[in-house]
């Protein structure tokens, strides 16, 4: 029998091995999958990004970029190219399964191909695709594949918003072998925020926290970029906190991890997340975490869930007024997730 092969269909993928900011959680998952199953050939079909059509190698994986550029005018042609790529891989290789990322276009174009070729399909929801606004849900034939989500909250929202029961929770995780270990260094940053600067992330609430702390020695850092950057910067100036809150923009993944290692706590005021990788990484690098969203059912003592801005401010005050213990905690590994996925693909439930 020829070497077994897996197809991963994603809206985007890194253009080369040096691009660390593109879907880092999926990168970590694939690296862990490679280490756990070294004889498995992994193929990635990327619909929209990189913004050009190309077949290239990424850490021994074959990547086929369809170059859709996130343009609606390109959609049908992009889907045609992606379907052609998937069918070609199936024809040439011993494909044991297809994994589509998000319950959107990747699952839509994969479902019929998988069914016609009697290949197991796992559709993996990673976050906002469980919201009511996801119009693709009506186009998906859930009887043709297994539906997985990254967290209990995603499972509950998928059911409450669409009446769809997920078959399994495939927890988000981190690949400890592909990132540096936590170092015993000075933690001179009191509060850290990391992520895209979108309105639902509510990173401007960090400013309210610093104002409420009323301590000129408090140091805070925001890492990320996005449409809210100008608004947040303006609010920092308006409050006169330029010397206390620093905006570093978008950084490489390894640089973000370095700042986590230098921080006492991570503030995650986002109103919605599937299962935040940032939270898992911050806990691994010893941060205490204050968050509105809960990425897993089994969170450590260094994780604090809050439900209001006032509660968030009071929790941060309490933590910073006491000596914080910065202990590395691994909530879930990408290896465990890759094993769970392979078990699902091999299970009789998919045959």
CB burial class (10 A; 0-12, 13-18, 19+) of residue 56? middle
Output the pLDDT for position 268: 95
Output the pLDDT for position 24: 87
* Site of tokens 């790529």: 85
Is the domain of 295 the same as that of 187? yes
Strands 168-169 and 189-194: unpaired
Output the pLDDT for position 275: 65
Distance of CA 2 to the CA centre of its chain: 33
Output the pLDDT for position 349: 47
Does residue 296 lie within any of the structural domains? yes
Is the domain of 254 the same as that of 309? yes
Is the domain of 79 the same as that of 219? no
Strands 303-305 and 288-291: parallel
Is the domain of 20 the same as that of 165? yes
Output the pLDDT for position 153: 87
Does residue 282 lie within any of the structural domains? yes
Is the domain of 25 the same as that of 78? yes
CA distance linking residue 145 with residue 121, whole number of Å: 5
For residue 65, the surrounding DSSP H or E stretch is strand 61-66
Number of structural domains in the chain: 2
Is the domain of 17 the same as that of 158? yes
Output the pLDDT for position 351: 40
Is the domain of 148 the same as that of 212? no
Does residue 327 lie within any of the structural domains? no
Is the domain of 259 the same as that of 188? yes
Segments in the chain below pLDDT 50: 1, 348-351
Does residue 13 lie within any of the structural domains? yes
Is the domain of 252 the same as that of 292? yes
* pTM listed for this prediction: 0.88
Residue 65: both structure tokens together: 């970029």
Q: What is the CATH number of the domain that holds 268?
A: 3.40.50.2000
Residue 273 CB neighbour total at 10 angstroms: 26
Does residue 147 lie within any of the structural domains? yes
Residue 64: name the closest of 104, 93, 24 by CA. 93
Domain encompassing residue 9: 4-173+333-350
Output the pLDDT for position 46: 98
Longest dimension (CA), the chain: 68
CA distance linking residue 287 with residue 264, whole number of Å: 5
């Amino acid at each position: 029998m020829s070497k077994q092969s897996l197809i991963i269909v994603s809206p985007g993928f890194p253009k080369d091995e040096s691009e660390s900011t593109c879907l880092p959680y999926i990168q970590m998952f694939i690296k862990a999958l490679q280490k756990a199953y070294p004889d498995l050939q992994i193929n990635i079909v990327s619909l929209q990004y990189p913004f050009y059509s190309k077949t290239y190698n990424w850490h021994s994986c074959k990547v086929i970029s369809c170059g859709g550029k996130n343009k609606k005018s390109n959609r049908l042609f992009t889907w045609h190219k992606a379907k052609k790529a998937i069918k070609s891989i199936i024809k040439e290789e011993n494909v044991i399964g297809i994994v589509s990322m998000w319950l959107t276009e990747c699952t839509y174009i994969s479902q019929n191909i998988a069914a016609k070729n009697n290949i197991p399909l796992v559709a993996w929801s990673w976050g906002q695709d469980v919201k009511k606004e996801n119009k693709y849900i009506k186009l998906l034939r859930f009887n043709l594949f297994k539906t997985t989500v990254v967290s209990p909250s995603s499972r509950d929202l998928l059911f409450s918003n669409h009446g769809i029961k997920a078959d399994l929770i495939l927890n988000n995780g981190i690949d400890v072998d592909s990132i540096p270990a936590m170092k015993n260094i000075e933690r001179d940053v009191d509060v850290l925020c990391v992520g895209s600067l979108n309105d639902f992330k509510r990173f401007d609430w960090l400013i309210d926290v610093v104002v409420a702390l009323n301590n000129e020695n408090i140091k805070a850092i925001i890492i990320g970029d996005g449409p809210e950057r100008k608004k947040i910067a303006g609010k920092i100036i308006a409050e006169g906190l330029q010397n206390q809150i620093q905006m570093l923009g978008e950084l490489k993944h390894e640089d973000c991890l370095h700042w986590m290692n230098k921080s006492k706590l991570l503030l995650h005021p986002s109103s919605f997340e599937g299962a935040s990788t940032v939270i898992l990484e911050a806990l691994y690098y010893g941060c205490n975490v204050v968050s509105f969203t809960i990425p897993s059912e089994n969170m450590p003592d260094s994780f604090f869930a809050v439900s209001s801005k006032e509660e968030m401010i009071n929790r941060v005050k309490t933590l910073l007024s006491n000596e914080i213990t910065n202990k590395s905690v691994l909530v879930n590994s990408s290896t465990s997730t890759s094993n769970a996925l392979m078990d699902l693909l091999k299970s009789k439930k998919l045959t």
